[in-house]
Every structure is written in C-alpha cells, then in structure tokens.
Structure 1
Amino acid sequence: MSTASVLFDAPGPRARVRNRIVTVVTLVVAAAVVWVLYSRLQARGQLDAAKWEPFLTANLWKTYILPGVQGTLTAAAVSIVLAMVLGFALGVGRMSAHRAIRVPSAIFVEFFRAVPVLIMMIFAYFLFAMYDVFPSKHLALAGVITGLTLYNGAVIAEIVRAGVNALPRGQAEAASALGLRWGQTMRAILLPQAITSMLPVLISQLVVVLKDTAIGYQITFLEMVRQGTQVGAAYGNYIPALIVIAILMIAVNFSLGHFATWLEGRLRRSRRGPAPMHADEPVNQGAFGAGAGGTI
C-alpha cells in the first residue's frame, strides 16, 4: 500500500481532473478578490507611498508603536507565567485523590472555561477600580492580566490533565508498588513526561494569550492593535498601520513558535536514553566478574 493512500483512497483519473479544475477555479477566484481589494484601496489612496512614510520616522514608533508593543508583551508575559502556574496547580488538583482538592479545582476550571475573556477583563477592571486595588494607571493592565490568567489557566489545567492521563497507567501503578506517594509519582515520573508531550499544545495556547491581549482595547489598555488604530486616526493610513501591526504580531508569534520547537527538541534529546549496544561491539569484560580474574 502506498503512503498516499493510507488515510484515503487514491483518486482516479476523473477525480484528479476534477481536483485540478477546482484548484484552478479557487486560485482564479482568490486572485480576483485580491485584485478587487487592491483596486479599491489604491483608488482611496491607502497604498500610496505617502501613507507609508510616517513609519520611517522615529517619532511615530516612539509615540505609538513601541508603547503598544511594550504593553502587549508585558501583559502577555505576566499572563503566561501566572496562567502556567495556575494551570499546573489546577490540573494536578483535578487529579488529586483528595475530594476536597479535586472538586473545587474542577468547579474552578469548568466555570472560568465557560466565561468569555472580555467579560472577565471588564469585571476585574471595574472591581479593581471600585476597591482601589491598583493605581489608576495600572487598572487596565491588571484587568487584562486577570482575565487572561483565569481563562487560560483553566484551559492549561485541562491540557495538563489530558497529558498526564495519556501516559500508560502502568507507570503510576509501578510507582505505587515501589512505595512512592501520589505527589512523588506526579512530580518525579508523570509530569516530566507529560510536559514534553504536551509542549506543542501549551505553546499554541500561549500564542492565544498573546493575541488575546488585543481584547484589552475595550478597557482602554495600551496594546499594539489599539495603537495601530491610533496611528490610522492620526495619519489617515488605517490599512498601512494595521498591516504593520499584523507583521509585528506575526513576527512575535513566529518567534514564540520557533522557540517552542527548539525547546521541545531539546527536552526530547535530554530525556533520550543511552544508545543501544550492537552485537558486533566488544564487551568490556573487566566490568564483569572482576573478582574472578576478569572472566565471565
């Protein structure tokens, strides 16, 4: 059986012709849509060279873009750290043998997974403002971090639980037979293996955290997308401004994804066992039966 037909039947001559026709039609429609959009933007002057010139000045980057980048990265970094800590705590708590820990953890996870992130941001923002928990200049940042931490912490908890449950049950049973407690088994055996296997999913969720910082625009948080619209309003170049912001977001997300790939490979290499011995390799007899004259 060929590799091309493992998951589905190999297309016949008619199917291949039909697929080519559909592909060509799709490309033609996509090209037409791009051309229409380009024509309309060009007619409105959004793609003129003058609209891009402000991005060549240091004042625009210092006033608008860099503060937005700083706000986005600050909120994302703090939220990622807190969500990881909260998620691992809740994920392990949901698997606890103690009902007093397992049930509250499950309720917390299910509740905050169901509440939209924006609602949590708005609620936290006005709650902090009502009780003067944070200074006024940090209220929006605190609201964004709180909403992102609670929601993504609940999601990461489910990722952790799924990663641990995907491991062979024999490992936990063997650890119990050796006399290890549940906490020792989780900390020394199960979690290290689960982290390596679920790392791609975790990084995908962290990218979601980075992108969801844009929702903080609703509570006046200073982030990249909000600053892009400010640039568009100030210079009348909304499309170029949003294109630049999109490029910056893509660059940051790509860097995070590349780092995740590198980290996953490094973790897998560090946990790889010694290379198996080949049959034609000489045996070091000095390591065996040293008391018997070096013979086996």
Structure 2
Amino acid sequence: MFDPPGPRARRRTRVVTAVSLVVVGALVALAVRQFADNGQLNPDRWRPYLTWPMWRYLLIGLRATVLAAVATGVLAMAGGLLLAVTRSRIARAYVEVMRTVPVLLIIYVMLFVLPSYGLDLPLFWKLVVPLALSHAALYAGIFRAGVAAVDRGQREAGLSLGMTERQALRAVVLPQAVRNMAPSLVSQTVGLLKDTALGYVVSYTELLHSGRVLANYNHLLIQTYIVIAVVYLAVNLALSQLSRYLEVSLARTAR
C-alpha cells in the first residue's frame, strides 16, 4: 500500500529525472569526445565489424551463451520448484545460504576443489552447474511467492474434490502460480543470462570470452566490447519486453 505522489512530489520527480538525463547526456558526450580525440571513432577501426566473419565468430559465442543460459534455466527452475514445495529445514537453509554465497565462489569450488576428489566435469557443466545451484535459490523465492499469491480457496476446493495435498498443489495451485509469476521468471532469466559471462573463469567460450579473444587478435578493444555490450543490450531488452508483455497480458486477463 502506498499513497500516490502529490503535485510537489511529481514536480520533484520530473526535476530529478531532467537533471539525471542532462548529467548522463553530458557524460556520454564527454566519452564520445574522448573517443574521437584518441581516434577510436575512426571508420577504419569499426569497418571490421561490418564483415560477416566477425559477426559469425560473435554469433557462435552468443549461441554458446544462450545454450548455457537455457540449460541453467531448466535446472534452476526445476531445483527452485523442488525447493519451493519442500518445507524442510534443509531446503530453507539451502535457499538462505545460496542467496548469500557469490556465484564466483561456487564456480571456483567446481573448478579447483571437486577435481581433486575425482569429479572433473566438462567446461560447459563447470559453468552451468554452479549457476543452476545459485539461481535455484532465487527461483525458489519466486515460486514460493507465486504459490502464496494464489487464493487459499483454490487449494481448499481441490481438497474438497478428494485430491490429496500434493495433487491439489500440482493440478490446481501450481498452474495458476506459474501463470501469475511468469513475468518474474523472465526477469530472473535476464540476470541468469548476464551471469553466463562468468564463463571466462572456466574458459567456456561464451559471448564475452569470444569478445576477449577477438580483441586480443585484432587489437580493437573498445570497439569489440562496445559491440558485445550492444548485443547483450539487445538480448536483454528483448527479454525485458517479453516480461512486460506477459505482465500486461496477465493483468488484462485477470480483469
């Protein structure tokens, strides 16, 4: 519950927004001027990224990023759902611990500790498994919030029809919960996609690692990373738009 902003608060918000836009615009203009003064805007330094071989190499890295994100998302959602419906202390402790432990630390354990005990996974799984272990805790919170948002009468209606607790949860509550929390799941997937950039730690050739190799080859560091940033921005904006579309569609359906 919150009170809508009054005229003074709206005016203050508009002023802060305008000042922020001016500051950001000034910083961007300064950065562009610095790039120009140092010859970074020279067309010859950008021309290689108008060729197909460059984009083919980057698209191979993007495909590896998407594959890692999809595999991580499937495992993390499955694990998060299991943690959400499990009411044991172990599940709650797992969620709390994984929310506080950095993903990079889990990757280091997978990379340096487990091989000494005979568990040496391929590079792909050295990235996917730690990300899935970490994001499962985050998805568990989303699933729990989604289940809690479903009206209790739905569960009770299922029980009144002779369903068991698990049957009512699986057939009645979860379908409604998943539909309501779809935007949150997509938003969490955006963060998951960005975390795949940690693949450089295990030498997995995802998009950022491919860009690093390419920059070392053609010595176009700034241009390469700007192009990669634009690719990440385009993918994440597409996912964000999907999240907003789902949110609006679900709100319209609910009305």
Shared fold, TM over 0.5? yes
Could you tell me which residue of structure 1 aligns to residue 30 of structure 2?
36
Structure 1 segment 201-216 matched on structure 2, within 5 A? 201-216=184-199
Do the aligned residues in 2 keep the contact of 1:125 with 1:142 (CA within 8 Å)?
no
Is it true that 1:144 corresponds to 2:166 in the alignment? no
Partner of 2:181: 198
Query: Taking structure 2 as the reference length, what is the TM-score of the superposition?
Result: 0.86
Name which one, 1 or 2, has greater alpha-carbon Rg. Answer: 1
2:39 aligned with 1:56? no
Q: Which has the higher contact order (CA 8 A, sep 6+)?
A: 2
Q: Kindly tell me: are residues 22 and 259 of structure 1, through their superposed partners in 2, closer, same or farther at Cα, counting changes over 3 Å?
A: closer
Deviates more, 1:241-250 or 1:226-235: 226-235
CA deviation string 1:124-181 (max 9, x = no partner): 122453355456xx33x21210111011111111111111112222222333333321
Q: Distance in 2 between matches of 1:90 and 1:171?
A: 22
Instruction: Confirm or deny that 1:243 pairs with 2:226.
Output: yes
Q: CA deviation at 1:120?
A: 0.8
Structure 2 letter corresponding to 1:111 = V
1:126 paired residue among 107, 112, 119: 112
Judged with a 3 Å threshold, the aligned counterparts in structure 2 of structure 1 residues 186 and 35 are, in CA distance, closer, same or farther, namely: same
Q: Which structure carries more helix by proportion?
A: 2
| Aligned counterparts of 2:240 and 2:107: Cα–Cα separation in 1 | 26
Alignment of 1:167-206 (within 5 A): 167-206=150-189
Alignment of 1:217 with 2:200, yes or no, is yes
Residue-by-residue CA offset, 1:57-107 (whole Å, 9 max, x unaligned): 333334x4133212211111110111111111111113xxxxxxx222212
SS at 2:181 equivalent: helix
SS in 2 for 1:105: helix
Range with greater deviation from structure 2 (121-130 or 236-245): 121-130
Verify: 1:107 aligned to 2:86, yes or no: no
Do structure 1's residue 162 and structure 2's residue 148 form an aligned pair? Answer: no
RMSD: 2.9
- 1:70 alignment counterpart: 63
* C-alpha displacement of 1:22: 5.4
How many angstroms does 1:26 deviate by?
4.1
Q: Is the 8 A contact 2:187 2:239 kept in 1?
A: no
Unaligned runs of 5+ in 2: none
Whether the 8 Å contact between 1:196 and 1:264 is mirrored in structure 2 is: no
SS at match of 2:4: coil
Asked whether 1:79 is paired with 2:72, we answer yes
TM-score, normalised via structure 1 length: 0.75
Q: How many residues align?
A: 254
Superposition pairs for residues 4-23 of structure 1, below 5 Å? 7-11=4-8, 16=11
